[in-house]
Structure formats: C-alpha cells, structure tokens
Structure 1
Amino acid sequence: MRWTLKPKPDSETVSQLASKLGVEKPIASLLVQRGIETFDEAKKFFRPSLEDLHDPYLMKDMDLAIDRIEKAIENGENIMVFGDYDVDGTTSVALLSSFLKSFYPNVATYIPDRYEEGYGVSYKGIDFAADNDITLIIALDCGIKAIDKVAYASEKGVDFIICDHHRPGNEIPKAVAVLDPKRDDCEYPYKELCGCGVGFKLMQAWAIKQEYPLDTLLPYLDLVATAIGADIVPITGENRVLAYHGLHVINTAPRVGFQAILDQVKKETLTITDVVFILAPRINAAGRMKHGLHAVNLLVEDDVETAKQFAAEIESYNSDRKNADKTITVEALAQIEDLEEKERFTTVVYQENWHKGVIGIVASRLIETYYRPTLVFTKSGEKLAASARSVKGFDVYDALEACSEHIEQFGGHKYAAGLTLHESEYENFKRKFEEVVAATIEKHMLVPEVSIDTELNLVDITPKFYRILKQFAPHGPGNMSPVFLTQNLKDSGFGKCVGADDLHLKCKVKQGNSALSIDAIGFNLGPKCNLITNAQIFKAAYSIDENEWNGNISLQLKLKDISD
C-alpha cells in the first residue's frame, strides 16, 4: 500500500473560507481541495438545488429528440424504450417508460437478453419493434456505436433516439437524435452523466417544453441516484445534485419496488454506499442471472404484494450470483497460479463455462489479489466475451483500443469495459494486451494507493467537526469520503486482532501525551497487529464514521492502513 498526501491548498484561501463559513480550517481545506473557494460555492455544495441543473437544451440534438417524441404522440405512434441489462440500463428504462406512460399509453419496454443478444442495441430488438408496429425506439445507456443497427432500423421504418454516455467512435449513428455529452460536437457543460442521467435530461427538456414544474420530476430521482452510484460516475456537479435529491427520495418516499428490497434487508436509512452495495447488486442480479426485464418490472410496480414477490425472486437471483461469483473467483485465482502468471502486468483468464453474468464482478475480485488491469473471458456463442476492469490511473479503454486488431467489438470507460473476440485470437490478444500495458502503465499504478486529503490531530475530531463532515456526502469519484493522516499514535493497550482468522484489527488510540482516546477498526489489517503492540508509535490513514453499539453512537476511525 502506498500513501499519497494531496497537495496542501493555498493557506490564505483556506483561512478566508474558514472565516466566511465559520468552520475549522481542516473543513475549509477539504472544500478548497474540491474546488470550492467561496461562500456561494460552499452553499451550492452543501445544499444542492435542482435549480442548479443545466438547461437540457444545451445538449446537442435535444430539440430534435423532443420534437420527434411530440410527433410520435400526436400521431399515436408506438414507442419502445430500450436499455442495457445492467443497473444504469434497467433504471433508465424504468425511469423513462414510467414517465412517458404517465401521459401516453403506447409505450413498450425492451431489455436485450444478455446471453442471446449481448450488450447494446440488438437486431432482435429492432425486429421486435418492426413486427409490433413500433416506429420510435429510445435507446438508453447504449447505442452510441450502433451505426449498422440504426441503419437497419431505418430501413424497416423505425426511428432512433439515442441517450448514451459512453465514448463515441469516429462515426455517430444516423439517428433522429443522438444525446451524449461526450460527443466532440456537444457543448453541454457537464460530461459525466450516466445513461439514466441523460434520460433524466430528456425528461427535464420535455417538462420545460410542456411547462411542468421541475419538482414533478423529483419522484424519479431515486432511480437516477441508484444509477449514479452503481455506474461509478463522478459525484460532482449535476451528478451531486441528482444523487443528493435522489437519496432523499429513497429515504423518505421510496418507490414500491425499492421498499420491497429494503424490507428484506432490514435497512432504514441509505447512503450512496448502501445503494451501491444493497440496491445495485440486486437490480443487477436480474440481468446477470435471468433477464433485466425482471428488474424493470420490480422498479415500475405499484402493487405492494406483487412487488414483494418480484423482490423475493430477485433476492434468489442475487444469492445465485454470489455463489457463482465466489466459485469462479476461486477457479480464476487457481488458473493464475497454474499458469505461473503472478508476476505479469496484466491478468487475463478464460474458461468456457464461466457464467457471463458475473465475470465483471470476478475481474474486480481478482484485482483485490493481483492489483493490475484485468480481463475475465468466457464463451459466448461462437465467440469469447470479456469484462475488463482497471486500476487507479490506468485507462483500460485506451489499452483495448491499442489491441483492436484482435478484437471484434468493444466499448466502455476508463476503468471498465467489455469486449468480444474470436476464440482463435485469444492468445494473440492476451500477448498484445500484456505488451501494451507493460509499455504504458506507470509502475506505481501497480501498487494500491491510499489517497490522503489532509493531516489531522485527534483533538480536531469533535461532534461539530463530524456533523459538517457528514454533509460532504454523497461520496463517490471526485468527492470521495475524506481520508486523514494522524501521526504519533499509540494503542491504549487493549488492541487486538478480531474476526475469523484474526483478519481485522481493533484498538483504541491516543495521540502523543493527550488523554483523549478514540476507537479504531481496521478491516483486513490483522496482519499489522504487531505494529501497535508494546506502546509502539505508529501513524494511521483513516476515514471517520459512526459506530452504533447497544443504542449508543460514538465516532470511530475506520483505518485504511497503518505504518510505523
């Protein structure tokens, strides 16, 4: 584990902001690090307002999209809302279909089968539309590279509106409208929306055109917040506004489907982290293990008893997903050992019977053991399909682009991507990918990093400090939960290893000669227990959270790492 301390922000700017806000300097320092330097900027950060959302008509083709939807409704056309089978895709379909159905009945939904159709816009989906007199498809979280498929649809008299957030290729599909903030010719101010976020902007544009009050869109933001968390997009700018209000909806007036899930897991108040680890895996499990439409059906269901049945089914899929994930991870780790590939710059593993629905999760699991860009392949029809995951700082999408001679199709982001190739190209691709990564990755990227915001003394950790710190949420890329460094620590004498196999570290720490002590827990830090024995001095990198025990709530340090 390597520790990096973020550069200290300008001290004068920090002092002025601390004075204006009436907060301690460590809080002001955290704000300045996040680009917040004035009272007004801090107000927007701590109290995100829907009024801060950008004009949706700044997005290229938005006017064309709205005009086409208006025309479809005027002519009584059938509309199909099409989306990917992951969380971003299924929430997008639930979002836009339920919104359209609130004022127009002729709306169908379609999620491609992960195994029969694969990722993105499918010929089968287009044929379904043509066969059912559907003349407009709105594709969400996919479509930006569907050049041939959009042309095929056009030949069948089916128009497309694309709402995507993935990187475009050199050519844009000839759809009626292509909404994607990452288009080179799109001047929309915020580029980091997820697919569901782009769908929401389409709804916002419709609301403006129809003169709906903006707050009529509030109930839909629980879906947008879930997609933001699951798709690991930056929680900055517009995404922060959408996630902030979406979490409020989840915690105060959740839709029936979400409530059915929450009733099963016995969780009352959710953070964005809870959304990522509780809601998202269950929604994802439908598309991974069965079919994404099961998730959409749950998310749009209004009947409580029916939603409970859907949630129970999805809980079963999630249990199956966990078992498959665990089994395949063990097999993949064994393959790395057997092939003597521990010392490579990359992990590339393949077995033809691995479940396609969990290979992305397995790739993330493998990075926990071998910290490097990772691909997990399985057989998919006549071809091989893979999920790619990367490490901090390394663009796996660019690396795949450099291997494109061996790839049939790929798409994704900097840290996560998917691809297909012919089985005959597997070894060639594996060799080329290793060469590309070895030549381009910086060696420090192969060591997990603890990124520290600022140094802090234990005496600074007061209830008031933590109350303000909590308002930095929701956390995510671009606004991670603050990590602090404290030096000159020692255990009060009761530190010990806890958990199965003594895997975790629990202690109560003091700093210097101060009598003040605070509880600390370090998950997976059991092997470092020797660093705190015999009153040894050590330093710690940690975040701060609340620990509830027997009805009492106290602050504790959540240790990221310790060092002598």
Structure 2
Amino acid sequence: MLRFSRRAEKYQIEGLPDWMASLLHARGVHDRETAEKFLQPDLSHLHDPFDLNNMQKAVDIISAAAKGKKRAVVWGDYDVDGMCATSLLYETLQAMRIPVITFIPDRHTDGYGLSFDGVEKLASQADLLITVDCGITAQAEVQRAKELGMTVIITDHHALPEMLPEADAIISPLLNNYPFPHLCGAGVAWKLSQALKGLEYARKQLDLAALATIADMVPLTGENRVIAALGLKTLGDTKRAGLVALKEAADIAHHHPLTSEQVAFQLAPRLNASGRLSTAQGAIELLNAANPAHAVPLAQELNTLNTRRKQEERLVLEAAEKQLEKADLLHDRTIVVVGEEWNAGVVGLAAGRLAEKYGYPAVVLSQSGDMCVGSARSAGEVDLYAALKACEDLFERFGGHTKAAGLTILGANVDAFKQRFNEAVYAQLPGGELIPTAEYDDEMPLSLVTPETSEALMRLAPFGVGNPAPVFLKREAKVLSARCVGADMRHLKMTLGEDDVIRDAIAFGCGEEFGGLSGSVDVLFVPQKNEFRGRLSGQCLVKNIVISSGVFKEDAALERRIILQELQAALLNSVSYPVNNLSPESLQIAGSQGTLLLCRTAKTAMRLKEQFRWMDAAIHRINDPRAFQTVLHNARLKDINAPYEKLVFADGLIHPSEAGLAHTHLPKATLYAFPISDTLSTRIEELAVTQDELREAYIALKKQTGLSAFPWTDEKRTAALVMLSELSLIQGEGSGICMLPLRKCDPQESPLYRVLST
C-alpha cells in the first residue's frame, strides 16, 4: 500500500511561470529575490565565515601555530564528509607551511570520534589537534588532550550535547545563531579554510566541499546549495589527480559538470567503501594524491572495495530477509534483525534498504560475542531518536537523530529491545498505522514529458535533501507494454500511453513485482531526456507504481486457465476447512492490513475496487509480509505470500475443497465466501466437456490429429486432456502425449469431469 502526497501548492512569484513558482514554494522559496538566489547560486550569497562561533579565535590559534612552527593533526571521520573535511583542511594547513598529519579512526577497532588511545598516541606527534566532522561530544577526550599539552580546535556540525567540551575553540553552525545551521562537516572545514586563506583560495576546494555536502545528505538549500552547485562545476574540471582517477573508475567523463546523482551514487559509495570494509586511509591518500601514477591504483582499489561492499551488503540483506520470514510485520511496526559477525560497515546501509522497502523503522545489529553493534534508520514521520531514547536503559551506548542512529547493546537485551522499540514506535502512530507515503509536486500529462521540460526542470538542480528532484503524478496511464530488463531482470521497461501520446518509461527495481503489467496504473515519475541514435525524446523515470482498478481487464481465457489450475489443485487437496458464508452487502473492512479479497473475475474485482477505493489492487501475485488490504485478481492461492488474517472468496468457491487448499497456503486466515457469482459460474461452464465430446477427443488423439481442429477454447482442450489422463487413457502432456491401452471406463471416474458436469 502506498499513499501519494502532494507537496507543491499552486503559487505565484512575479516574473516566473506558475509551475516554477509552485515548485520553488514547495522548497521554501516564496519571493522573487529568494528565487533569483536559488536559481542562480553565487559565492556572494555565502555568509561571512567569521559569523561562525569562535572562528576568529581558531584563525588566531592556527596562524600562531604557523608562525611558531607548531605541529598539527587533523582528526577526521571515516565517511565521505569526514574524509573530504580532513583532506581539505590538511591541504590548507600545508599551504600555511604547518607540519601536519591526518588521523582517521578505524570504524571496526576505534569507533567514531575522539578516543583516549588515539589522543595519547598523537600527543607526542602534534601540538595542535583539530577535529573535523566530530568531537562536539568528546568532553573527556578533549580534557585528556589538554592535559597532554595539546591545543584543541573542534569543528563539527552534529547535534550539540548538554555540555560542550572545554576546547580552545569550537566552530559549529549550531552555535552563536549562525544564519545557516545545516553545513556538513566539510562545509564547516571549508569555511575555516576560507577564513584562513581567503575566498579565492577556498574556491579551488569547492570540489571537495560539494562532494561531502551531497554525500552527507544535508539540505541542499542556502549555503549548501551554493557549495553544491558551484562545486559540481569545479568537480567536473577538477585538477585533483585523485578525483580525476575516481571519476574514471566510476565511468564518469572528465571536463563535464557532474550531477548530484553521480556524486551520491557513483563517487560517494566508492570512497565510503574504504571506511566500511577497511580503513579510510586509502581514500585519504587518493584525495591527497599528487599525480595519476599514485592516484589510479588507489582508485582501482576503491572500486574493488566497493564491489566487495555490495557483496557484503547483499549477504546481510539476504540473511535479514530470511529472518523477516518469521517476523510479524502484519502487527509489528518495526524491524530488528541480528546476525553473527555481520560486517559492521554495511549494517547502516542494510537498515536503510529495509526501511525503504518495508516502510518501517529498521535496526540491523551485528553480534560479536555478547555484544551487538548496529545502525537504525527511520521510516515515514517516525522520530527514531525518541523511539530509541525510550529504550535507552537497554543500551551500552547510542546516539543519532530523528532519521538515523547507531547503538551498542548486549545480546541478552535484544529481545526486550525488540518489544519496547515496537511499543515506542506504535505510540507515535495515529491509529497504530504506518502506511508508506510518496510525495509528488504536481500532476503532469504525458504530452509534457519532453526534452524541453527536462531542461527547464534542471534549473532547480542540484537535487538532494531539501530540494528533491521534481516528481509528477500521472493517473490512469495505460501500460501498452511492460517487460523485465537488466542482467538479473530486476528492472521494468514500460511503454505508457495517454490518448495518442506514447512515452517510454523505466522503473528500476520493479521487475519482480510488476513484470507482465498491463491495464492502467498511477505512476510517480521524473521527466528525463533520453538520447538514442542521435534522437532526443522524453521518457519517464518511474519512482512509484500504484495499480488502479484499470488493471482489472476482462480476459476470459486467463480467468478460465487459472480457475482450471485452481480446480485441479483443489481436487488433489485432501484437507477440509470451514468457510464462513458472507453476503457482499455485509462485507466490512476495518484498518489498513489483514484482509484479502480474492477475485476470480475482473467484473467482481472492478466492483470491489470501486467500493473500497482505498484498498490496494493487485494481479497474479502478492508478496508482502505487511499484508495490506488488497483486491486481488487472476492469482493462484500458491502465489499469495502474505500473512492475511481474513480471506474472502469474492466470486465464491470454485469447489468446496478450495477452502482446504487456501488453509494450506494461508494457515492463519479465517475464510469467507460470497455466493458464487454469475461470471464465475459461466467460466466454469465454459470448461465443461460432455461425454460425447470427451469420446471425440480420445478418437482424435488416437488418430494423431490432435484437438486443434475442435472449436474449443485452449482451456477446454486442456480440461479434456486432464480428464482423459485421470481416466488412464493417456499420459503425458503437450507434444509428449502417449495413448494408453483402451479400457472400458465411466467418465464419472474422472474427478474433474465429475465436478464440471454437475
């Protein structure tokens, strides 16, 4: 189940088209002056770096260190933000002729942030300790550094603790009412570099600052938009040997402006792979590399690590999905999985994938001995930090914010945590429901999906958090064709139609769920420009698909085929199970989960979808452990993989034994059946074979003339063959049918004949 939510209201800004004004309004831009700054980001829009808390003090300390030939260490973090911040400030201090080294903790052995061991080791190597992207909560570690004679400057962007460390200077956009509080760690370091060396010097470092800003998923508004937009241009023509090699490794052309998507999905994962699977040292060396001979092998190594990261992530996800087979996602609103020695560097990625797929907050824990270390990701509007805070007494440590968190917990406390975390999330949900929501900006006809539209929308780029790529809704788009594509057939290639307009569409990761789709669907999409053999056209990058009632197309042949298959399966089933008779008028459905209306005919499916418009529509199969209320058409019971508690045979039972078959596949479901519908009765009658017809079929097979000349449907021919096989007159199927010795028999000996002839 997926609900669409419109984020753009009709709005007007003088001098702009209404559609652009509406999109800008949804992104917090409400007047002409702000719009011009948004659409034409410029360095002049940046705030004075000395508006940041303690900036002048930090500049004085560092300048004095340069004059006094003091040694410095830049202590960073093992993600892209921390790496870029480290490299950026290292470069600036070198330019000031300060002897400087870098230190990035090992994710697996040191953990995040300042540590006593690290501080004590570095005290003999540096007089000045500068943190980037960390340190704001390290009261005790900073105190120890001071005791060891180090001067400490903290630059960080994370949430402030109740008590700040007693550092010599703390630079944070969250202090001193700085006008833009959303800088990332590298953004703060870049502002320090600007304060130390001037804007013209800092301009050359925009490639690193933009890479970090996009990768760290901070809002791409205000100063971040300036950094990202101008930095992407710098990154396109960067002279850094390391970034040139990294782009080549990611198959990104040099001397072309990059997009935020290329940074987020091609460059950032390669850098992050270093910190996730090894140490971040390789990535730091790459960013600081002086020449291609040094950079290219390092970039290739990151490529290898990134491939390994994907494999590790896939293994964790597969194991997590296996655990979820036993979970109760119909009633729970959270996901908690734990595995022995899962790679701690990928558990956050896995948690994000699970939260995105199921729409529930997810926690993925890696257990080593008695201790579990893991990451959590939120879903919907759930305040993850508040939910975890309610379980704080169970943790050894935890920290994070509303959308993401990390935690350490004893294995013995995991079961209690699962229960209390679920209760804490439930307490935040109105009515206990957590239904995934997808946002769109406006509705758009397919006729407007053109290269020109795509170009116009690119004025809003770069896209990311706070400035998502504009998404549009097309209701009742006709699916003219749909096929699975890609090496593993995971993606869905479609042709969509509206009146006489046809557009290509691609939906990544939707092949398994929507393969063979036809009829009409509601789609959320991003208009894209597609070039094929020199010809430009518009296409839809589909983000979400919701099947509408238009997908329920009457296909008598398919309905007969499925009815025949289910009838055969039911007749082989020896389990009986009670069914509650129900009239269509008395059907009541409450909540959003647990009920499935199984329809054998399109007529019934369309009627019920019209009656219960808020329910999902599905065809052929269901594979969702959340069991959202659904109207399902043309599906076999064996293809329902969801823990429904209420199954309604909306066209009635094909045969009494179908109830036992349903219980086999849906053991927790209470069964209900409407009276058999006229259309289902007709479909069953269309499968019937008389005794004379059965005799004629046998003779035709014996003469090897086959049944193709008979004026029957394919399904009736199949039924006749099944009957003859049940009577032991033939064996095999298709072209492999063999005649068995003729024997005297009564057609009533065939269970299928007996059922269809009554």
Q: TM-score, length-normalised on structure 1?
A: 0.90
Shift of 1:254: 4.8
Q: Look up the match of 2:448.
A: 460
Identify the range of structure 1 (382-391 vs 466-475) with the bigger mean alpha-carbon deviation.
Answer: 382-391
* Unpaired runs of at least 5, structure 1: none
Return the letter of the residue paired with 1:160: V
Q: Could you tell me which residue of structure 2 aligns to residue 337 of structure 1?
A: 325
Separation in structure 2 between the aligned mates of residue 345 and residue 195 of structure 1, nearest angstrom: 33
Q: Please report how far the alpha carbon of residue 146 of structure 1 lies from its aligned counterpart in structure 2 after TM superposition.
A: 0.6
Structure-1 residue corresponding to 2:218: 233
The one-letter amino acid of 1:227's match is A
In structure 2, what is the equivalent of residue 59 of structure 1?
Answer: 52
CA offsets 1:142-170 (integer angstroms, 9 cap, x no match): 11111111111111111221111111221
Please show how residues 152-163 of structure 1 align to structure 2 within 5 Å. 152-163=144-155
Q: Determine if the alignment matches structure 1 residue 3 to structure 2 residue 20.
A: no
Structural mapping, 1:73-112, within 5 Å? 73-112=66-105
- Quick check: 2:450–2:527 contact (8 Å CA) kept in 1? no
Contact 1:364 1:389 in 2 (8 A): yes
1:183-194 correspondence to structure 2 within 5 Å: 183=175, 186-194=176-184
By how many angstroms is 1:444 displaced? 8.5
What's the counterpart of residue 532 of structure 1? 518
- Cα distance in 1 between the residues matched to 2:44 and 2:96: 24
Q: What code does the residue aligned with 1:194 have?
A: C
Q: Which moved more, 1:322-331 or 1:538-547?
A: 538-547
Alignment match of 1:521 (pick from 506, 512, 517): 506
Matching residue's letter, 1:9: E
Instruction: Tell me what 1:484 maps to.
Output: 472
Can you list the C-alpha shifts for 1:118-141, whole angstroms capped at 9, x where unaligned?
A: 111111221122122x12111111
**What percent identity do the matched residue pairs reach?**
37
> Which is worse superposed, 108-117 or 372-381?
372-381
Q: Secondary structure of the equivalent of 1:145?
A: coil
3-state DSSP of counterpart to 1:351: strand
Q: Which residue of 2 aligns with 1:168?
A: 160
Please list the CA deviations of residues 162-214 of structure 1 after superposition, one character each: whole Å capped at 9, or x if unmatched.
1111112211111111222234xx3001111111111111112223xxxx3x1
Contact 1:90 1:292 in 2 (8 A): yes
1:196-211 to 2 correspondences below 5 Å: 196-207=186-197
Q: Distance in 1 between matches of 2:7 and 2:305?
A: 45
Change in 2 beyond 3 A, CA 1:130/1:402: same
Contact 1:115 1:380 in 2 (8 A): no
Q: Are 1:131 and 2:159 counterparts?
A: no
Distance 2:219 2:366 in 1: 30
- 1:178 and 2:165 correspond: no
Q: Which amino acid aligns with 2:147?
A: E
Is 1:545 aligned to 2:528, yes or no?
Answer: yes
Any idea what SS the aligned residue of 1:92 has?
A: helix
Q: Give the 3 Å change call, closer, same or farther, for CA 322–455 of structure 1 in structure 2.
A: same
- Secondary structure at the aligned position of 2:161 is classed as coil
Who is 1:556 aligned against? Answer: 539
Q: 1:14-93 residue pairs with structure 2 within 5 A? A: 14=12, 16-17=13-14, 20-21=15-16, 23=17, 25-93=18-86
Give the one of 472, 475, 494 matched to 1:507: 494
Contact 1:392 1:445 in 2 (8 A): no
Q: Aligned in 2, Cα 1:215/1:553: closer, same or farther, shift over 3 Å?
A: farther
Q: Distance in 2 between matches of 1:445 and 1:475?
A: 31
Residue 136 of structure 2: aligned partner: 144
Q: Residue 348 and residue 286 in structure 1: after superposition, are their counterparts in 2 closer, same or farther (change >3 A)?
A: same
The answer to whether the 8 A contact 1:495-1:508 is kept is yes
Q: Give the aligned partner of residue 219 of structure 1.
A: 204
Residue 45 and residue 160 in structure 1: after superposition, are their counterparts in 2 closer, same or farther (change >3 A)? same
| 69 and 193 in structure 1: CA distance in 2 versus 1, 3 angstrom threshold | same
Alignment of 1:159-558 (within 5 A): 159-183=151-175, 186-207=176-197, 212=198, 214-268=199-253, 269=256, 270-338=258-326, 343-379=331-367, 383-442=371-430, 446-491=434-479, 493-499=480-486, 503-512=490-499, 515-526=500-511, 527-528=513-514, 532-533=518-519, 537-558=520-541
Partners of 2:138 and 2:371 in 1: how far apart? 19
In 2, are the aligned partners of 1:336 and 1:342 still within 8 Å (CA)? no
Residues 261/502 of structure 1: CA separation in 2 closer, same or farther (3 Å cut)? closer
**Aligned-partner residue type, residue 128 of structure 1:** K
Determine the C-alpha separation between the residues in 2 that align with 1:478 and 1:343.
32
What is the deviation of 1:237? 0.8
Query: Per-residue displacement from partner, 1:370-397 (whole Å, max 9, x unpaired)?
Result: 3211111124687421111111322212
What SS is found at the alignment partner of 1:60? coil
Distance in 1 of aligned mates of 2:396 and 2:139: 15
Q: Which amino acid aligns with 1:5?
A: S
Structure 1 308/426 Cα, relative in aligned 2: closer, same or farther at 3 Å? same
**Aligned length in residues:** 543
Change (3 A) 1:109 1:461: same
**TM-score, normalising length: structure 2:** 0.68
Structure richer in helix, relative to its length: 1
- 8 A Cα contact 1:394 1:445, kept in partner: no
Deviation by residue 1:190-248 (Cα, 9 ceiling, x = unmatched) = 111111111111112223xxxx3x13212211111111222111111111110111111
- The two structures, once aligned, show a CA RMSD in angstroms of 2.3
Secondary structure in 1 matching 2:107: coil
Task: Tell me which structure has the larger Cα radius of gyration.
Answer: 2
Bigger shift: 375-384 or 306-315?
Answer: 375-384
Match of 1:119 in 2: 112
Could you list the per-position Cα deviations for residues 48-89 of structure 1 after superposition, in whole angstroms to 9, with x for gaps in the alignment?
Answer: 001101112222222222222122222211111001111111
Which amino acid counterpart does residue 538 of structure 2 have in structure 1? L
Q: CA deviation at 1:7?
A: 5.3
Q: Take 1:496 and 1:320, find their aligned partners in 2: how far apart are those partners?
A: 30
Write the distance in 1 (CA, Å) between the matches of 2:109 and 2:492: 47
| Mean Cα deviation higher: 30-39 or 190-199 | 30-39
Structure 1 pair 507/324, CA: closer, same or farther in 2 (3 Å)? closer
Structure 1 residues 445 and 101, CA gap change in structure 2 (3 angstroms): farther
What is the alpha-carbon distance in structure 2 between the residues aligned to residue 541 and residue 48 of structure 1? 29
Q: Secondary structure at the match of 1:440?
A: coil
Structure 1 Cα separation of the partners of residues 391 and 305 of structure 2: 35
CA–CA separation in structure 2 for the residues paired with 1:445 and 1:83: 41
Would the alpha carbon gap of residues 433 and 487 (structure 1) be closer, same or farther in structure 2, given more than 3 Å must change?
closer
